[in-house]
Chains A and B, each alone.
Chain A
Amino acid sequence: MTTTLEQIRTQDTYQINGKTFTSRLLVGTGKYPTNELMGECLEASGTEIVTVALRRVALDKKGEKTLLDFIDPKKYTLLPNTAGCYSAEEAIRVAHLARATGISDFVKLEVLYDEKTLLPDPIATLEATTILVKEGFTVMTYTSDDPVMAQKLEQAGAHAVMPAGSPIGSGQGVLNPNNIRIILEKLKCPVLIDAGVGSASDVAMAMELGVVAVLLNTAIAHAKDPLKMAYAMKNGCEAGRLSYLAGRIPKKLYAQASTPLKDF
């Protein structure tokens, strides 16, 4: 019996801390021109997990719609981030606040070191991962593409390790595929590319490396046409995944004819 594309799509699932997902694209909710467009883009991307942030309520804007008016927590798994935290203590506080909403015990843990590069502080990230795992969170940790750090995070109990393809919001794609390959070889927990993706081909390439999923935000939100890019990302992600499952041909130095050259 021939397997249909639909069967491949629906059967090709993955789990994060026991929760099963089908879509391999995680999408952020920041930087969109409007919340309405954000909602449409999430729909078009086919995503099941969306990142959100926590900030102070603007007291001068009372009664205005909030983010949750545009995202149904029953439809999407909310992945609150700790963006903007520069110490383990701050990140842990934000994770606690996020859990207190009663909506999600997932956390996208990021503990940054400096504002210009937005690179993670590896030591504080490891410390916060250890604590939040012990406290029962589902911890998905943002890290650099250092294979040693990735292993340390897995040993600390991270439920997913998420190396950056390139700096956050930079759109440079996956700059060091070899580091990602080494991480994939060493880790058993889900590995996701988080950050740096610029286009659908970047997503496809990341998926072809064998990562479980890709997380992106700016590449859709700041595209000239975010909705078209959301569709493109969905398709790029599925193409890359299928290409990975199908297994690419080896690269060769010389040509190999596709048409028989003899017997004219």
Chain B
Amino acid sequence: MNIVVNGENKDFPEKITLEELIQQLGVRKETVVAEVNRQIIQLDKRAGLNLAHGDQVELIQFVGGG
């Protein structure tokens, strides 16, 4: 199924949780904030959240800024 991650179309198996997606992408889970369809998903809720075809996932982290 197709999931849009940070604006990019990506193909994933039918059953995947947000935590698994973050793991598969190789992103460090503790330094990233996740949104699914514009809703922030807290760290402890990621493992229980099954993603669906067409979901929009945003993975955000701190970068340098003034």
Chain A residues in the interface with B (C-beta under 8 A): 28-32, 35, 38, 51-57, 59, 62-63, 66-68, 78, 80-81, 83, 93, 96-98, 100-102, 168-169, 195, 215-218
Contacts and interface: CB of A to CB of B under 8 A. Distances in A.
A28 B6 contact: no
A30 B6 contact: no
Interface residues of B, number: 25
B27 A31 contact: no
A67 B63 CA distance: 6
24 contacts: A28-B66, A32-B64, A38-B64, A51-B66, A52-B65, A53-B64, A53-B66, A54-B33, A54-B61, A54-B63, A56-B6, A56-B59, A57-B6, A59-B5, A62-B27, A66-B31, A66-B61, A66-B62, A67-B61, A67-B63, A68-B31, A78-B62, A83-B65, A100-B42
A59 B8 contact: yes
Contacts, number: 95
B26 interface: yes
Contacts of A32: 64
Given A30-B66, A97-B35, A101-B33, A55 B26 contact: no
Which residue, of B7, B32, B38, B64, has the highest number of chain A Cβ atoms within 10 A? B64
A101 B34 CA distance: 9
Contacts of A59: 5-6, 8, 25, 27, 59
Contact of B62 (A31, A54, A93, A216): A54
B52 interface: no
Contacts of B58: 56
Contacts of A101: 31, 33, 62
